[in-house]
Structure 1
């Protein structure tokens, strides 16, 4: 087998996001609801006839030794998960990086999945997620949590419990067909037009949590409690109340760190609410990216956001997680 295809889904957080960082769950335990969506990071990995490592992403690199790779995730993952001949790897994604849907975690999951296939070894979703977390959290020491890697590896709409010892429990939500259909129809994603790096916002959260900043810790306690309430409302099919909770969640989230929101984001959110959305929030750490809203009148919201220049990203939930295959 010479060419391996792999893909890993992006995600939208549905409640409790931010409690998956070690600085919080290591002391208090974390809990959130998140769903993988049908937008992906894709990789093609060519395993034969390569004299050098050739990596194609937003840039292109060609090196003899993985230690010389500039891209940190490529470099550290290949150093630890590959000992074969040089590879050619090409990467594309459905959405740009820095838009709050877990692209970095999906990238790492997708790469480890590809290397496992290249070695002809199976890997469970849990082991795949933990291997990706090790690269980003332990090796690269990025100020990120475990949500992105776990959602991308497992897929579906699940509750994630983060224990103080770092272990993660994954529990799929019990949603009936009507609730899933209404979620697909009424949850809308709009691009704010502003990509951002989450590092500064997350670094502030990590520092203040580690320093036992009372306002930050209390904010995250409320966030975790909203994660539990989100699950209860979703499983009960009470989506209007869930939409109202999204608004409460956003009001709590925007108080968490400086740079969480901005004039453009606030304007779009106000327009969405005026068009019939009962609630919404930024996807991801904040500062930019995509706005997810629960719309009672979806077409009115689409028209209002289009008039404001906010492009919609149509999506559905997906339930397969990271996958891959080989071709001759």
Structure 2
């Protein structure tokens, strides 16, 4: 038997960063995001050779360990080993003498689409399929968050795990004590089609270590830096503005809302943008984009641009001058899916 899963990556449209503690604990956070047809995939094949075999097919990384748990957290494939160790700790012995775990992600690590957290969700989903784990959507998302942020001590927020698990377009609220409320939005198809047509997803061919940016953001809140905290308040407001625009069909306001958020996001922490990214942003604006942002924590990876009417073609042409890649996608309604064969 092979036990498989796939979980969608997400585009963050508004409120990015307000899902990160301690801001969300102190003030409450709000984010609007949408999952897209780019995925993290996982497959588990039970073995009987006393080994745990890893194959990260997209990165061409391979590793083999003895099936003795917990596996060592040593800087090599720790994200995958962290999931295995937690599943073993919480649910007991695996029903085989070893297994092979194969993974593949449709976007590079550090690209700003939530790849790491989505991969954790996908791997957890494959284990849930194999071991018949009693995990509902909130349970699965919270367990993925706990593995990354608590077990592995990796800095970051909460939105990615919930987006990958639930799927669709969601307005998410974040509170203290890890309370998360996912509000699925019923947006008319015509509005989503127009958003999908006008929203250009551009990979800058650079990646970044989001943890350093997020750590500074967290420190700014702890140190009560007014400019940074005020910027996060505005980003939380932006999430509400984006929700209303999508539900009312005010699609061409989205560029302005993105631009509004981007100006405040840059005030959250250093390193969110740089001269190269600013140049790309201004070139897209001059070509017809009405707004945009850097996806994820910032510093590199993907950027998105809202291109009203038929300006996307001119914007795409200009972006070709910067190298990188315009990524085709579609919005998806489904979160994680698992099956066996």
- Which piece of structure 1 moves more, 227-236 or 73-82? 73-82
Q: How many pairs align?
A: 326
Gaps of 5+ in 2: none
Query: Which residue pairs with 2:203 in the alignment?
Result: 191
Local SS of the residue matching 1:277: coil
Unaligned runs of 5+ in 1: none
**Is the partner of 2:18 in helix, strand or coil?**
coil
Which stretch of the first structure deviates more once superposed, 65-74 or 179-188? 65-74
Moved more, 45-54 or 237-246: 45-54
Matches within 5 A, 1:1-328: 2-57=1-56, 58=59, 59-64=61-66, 65-66=68-69, 67-68=71-72, 70-82=76-88, 83-84=93-94, 85=96, 86-296=98-308, 297-327=311-341
In 2: Cα distance, 1:211 partner to 1:255 partner: 15
RMSD across aligned C-alpha pairs, in angstroms?
A: 1.3
SS at match of 1:22: coil
* Residue range with higher mean Cα deviation, 118-127 or 32-41: 118-127
Take 1:143 and 1:218, find their aligned partners in 2: how far apart are those partners?
A: 21
Please give the TM-score of this superposition, normalised by the length of structure 2: 0.93
Runs of 4+ in 1 over 6 A off after TM superposition: none
Report if the CA contact (8 A) 1:186-1:294 is conserved: yes
1:192 and 1:264 in contact (8 A); partners too: no
Deviates more, 1:39-48 or 1:94-103: 39-48
Larger mean Cα displacement after TM superposition, 126-135 or 53-62: 53-62
* Secondary structure of the corresponding residue to residue 48 of structure 2: coil
* Paired residues of 2:208 and 2:301 also in contact (CA < 8 A): yes
Deviations 1:113-155 (A, max 9, x none): 1111111235221111011011011212221010010000000
Instruction: For 1:234 and 1:126, locate their aligned partners in 2 and report how far apart those are by CA, in whole Å.
Output: 25
- CA shift, 1:286, in A, is 0.3
TM-superposed CA distance for 1:50, in Å, is 3.9
Report the Cα distance in structure 2 between the residues aligned to 1:22 and 1:266, rounded to whole angstroms. 28
CA shift digits 1:56-88 (9 cap, x unpaired): 123211111242353222222211213213110
Residue 47 (structure 1) shift:
1.4
Shift of 1:307: 3.1
Distance 2:86 2:37 in 1: 29
Whether the aligned pair in 1 keeps the contact of 2:41 and 2:123 (CA below 8 Å) is no
Give SS of 1:117's match: helix
- Tell me, in whole angstroms, the C-alpha distance in 1 between the residues paired with 2:283 and 2:130: 49
* Equivalent-residue separation in structure 1 for 2:49 and 2:79 (angstroms): 20
2:220·2:269 contact (CA, 8 Å) conserved in 1?
A: no
Please report the TM-score for the alignment, with normalisation by the length of structure 1: 0.96
